[in-house]
Structure 1
């Protein structure tokens, strides 16, 4: 039996373990292709490989977060290029906003949240608008809205203006105003 490779990399033997199929995340390949078309490392015609990457993306993100203080920009780019940012990674990043260990991890979490595909932008807006969420978590989410590069500037400012209009918290109002000025 010939060893399986992808992009000249030997695939682990667990790649062929059928029990892994239970962990696979359903992927809409047309959406995936449009969201990740700029990433040269993906071979979108290879469904199994895409599923394998999706399953391991949460581990990749956790690795980045744990090693944030020791990771170079090149390492972060390398890990992200091998990851699919999806519902699981999004939830992981949101939950980590409550338990980060240092400012470097926080900066990385905000960056990772803002790199998720555009449909997650609406979720971040709804979380940042939610008065029952801790004001510091809302602050970090507002920062992510301001840094969401794949959303045009006008839409980000409009989202922030809606948060500003609907919040009662003066701290959040100041954060939103400062973020709008930075855009």
Structure 2
């Protein structure tokens, strides 16, 4: 079954095209790239997840972390933002930032990465994504074998980033919290990274 709407069930999108009617078994990765969907639509357990407008904090935190990740990234890895990651046929999240193997990043036209090539996934929590970023996505990333996961929250009187750093236990396939970083983030894995989190005040 396809995700195309029957004529009597059609609902128009702002661009004039029809909202798709979900298939009985849920959407798949093929549907995600076939349908006319809003940018940054994710696929979670066969359901489409649309992204709401983001706060300024989200944009600035992503920018700050991306620049610092890039500043020390080794030649064998690449840093990318807002790229889809195929976990399974019905799960294609789009982390805010990913660090991937350079060998998986050779095609300038690619629209997604395979989960096996992802070394680090970073999610900046927004009001509409709290449950997904704190619970759903970390569980899926861990089960899929992504070795490192960072969750970024806005906290404190200054609304600065707080970064929760997790590392995968390969036996339990679950994340263990290895640090909570305020003001300064400094880690050795997946490679040496240092971030002055207070710098968001000047962006």
Normalised to the residue count of structure 2, the TM-score between the two structures is 0.28
Structure 1 or 2: larger strand share?
2
Structure 1 or 2: larger helix share?
1
Normalised to the residue count of structure 1, the TM-score between the two structures is 0.30
